[in-house]
Chains A and B, each alone.
Chain A
């Protein structure tokens, strides 16, 4: 079994912690466990590793983007503060954030309130996404009749 942090060395330190009724497990190699300060189990919270330090690692693995183009925020900054720089950071670091959010929350998609003014455009965006997916599928299946129909509906949405 490989280390969860560096993903290369053999894991020799196995940690299990139960936080809020959820069991969390981390497997680390010798050098990563020392780096994370796991050697002293009393002063160590697995949650910190998973949500804090681990989060930044997670983000580093997630993508090659180093800085948010909008605000200049970097993964190192996230590691330090646990907070993001701006709204665009959620897109910039999307890949790395995905697994972090999954472990943190009940679901991965928002199902609650939508700002009234944005509701329409959000609805249209998701419709557009579905149609584009259907279109690609129709083209792959060489079902050109359906594809033409879907294309017209996309045009119609665009014109609205």
Chain B
């Protein structure tokens, strides 16, 4: 399969429906594995990394899940193509910086992606829409079991799977869910939630993982530790916490509707106005405003059929996605005006927010056509 097939089609998790998909954008589980008799990628010499790649890549491609896979060496991808894959969470930012000696293999549906010679010899991840950590784990666990039958993984009786960074040793697993929490942010409860989640050993990060900003009110919640707890237990604990976060977000939404409807409508209304009429917009502003459109759809201010276009815009307005259709690299200014153009076009038929009974400014009967 060729790169344009991947770039031209968004992954299943971007379009897919899943449990709680209004608030939980996606569920992801990644496993870190290393071969027993080679140095970790960061310490291995180039010729050794090539040997590792030769040992691993054919085995990954032979997985039944990968029978229609897209498989490519890192040096054969352009910087822009890599950035598109980063924006789709199919490769890490670290992997995007790799050249000769690294590769990535992903299935057609873009639910399974295996990086070779990232920080570890193997970084394998599965991703799906909505809250379904358990089935996502099953999917990656199956691939892992098939691979360990062919490859000798570094495993220590007491420490479990050995990884380049001691923070991943044990299960080598990081499970995470991406959650959209605009109401918790608006009602200024988000820091409390983050602190509470941190307290029980889970991490909350921004859109693109460690050290990134929480753009568009999107947060990633994941397990912090990997040693001393079973995979199933980690997943179950995380699942429970996400369910609680969903409940808090829903409560915060109801609270805003009842107690601060003007604030809520102001955000949604401004988002609508600016997105529909702006001629220049950076990606940060776009994400933050689209977040309120998404919230507006969740709260039925906009018809359900506009959910898809808004979800698509979250991805299409990212810098690399924006440029993949253009021939040459665009300057920041050109990107911003192209972004605004794409948004205006996509939202051209978008109806005004139907504020109905929540509209605090219109007394009953006022402005009625009948």
A interface residues, Cβ below 8 angstroms from B: 20-21, 55, 70-71, 73, 77, 81-87, 90-91, 97, 100-101, 104-118, 122, 125-126
Contact = CB atoms under 8 A, between A and B. Distances in A.
Given A90-B169, A104-B227, A112-B173, 7 more contacts: A73-B43, A109-B158, A109-B159, A111-B228, A112-B231, A114-B155, A116-B149
A106 B227 contact: yes
Given A20-B224, A21-B195, A87-B162, A112 B171 contact: yes
Contacts of B39: 70-71, 73, 85-86
Contacts of A109: 158-159, 227-228
- Majority SS at the chain A contact face: loop
Given A21-B195, A110-B160, A114-B155, A101 B43 contact: no
Interface residues of B, number: 45
Interface of B: 34, 36, 38-40, 42-43, 119, 141, 144-145, 148-149, 153-162, 164-167, 169-171, 173, 195, 198-201, 203, 224-231
B171 A84 contact: no
Contact of B201 (A70, A82, A106): A106
Given A87-B154, A100-B166, A20 B43 contact: no
A106 B229 contact: yes
Nearest to A106: B228
Contacts of B162: 87, 90
A87 B34 contact: yes
B165 A106 contact: no
B190 to A, nearest CB: 16
A98 to B, nearest CB: 10
A15 B155 CA distance: 37
A116 to B, nearest CB: 7
A52 B26 CA distance: 32
7 contacts: A20-B199, A20-B224, A81-B42, A83-B43, A83-B164, A85-B43, A101-B166
A39 to B, nearest CB: 25
B70 to A, nearest CB: 27
Given A84-B166, A90-B162, A104-B167, A117 B148 contact: yes
Contact of B155 (A82, A100, A105, A115): A115
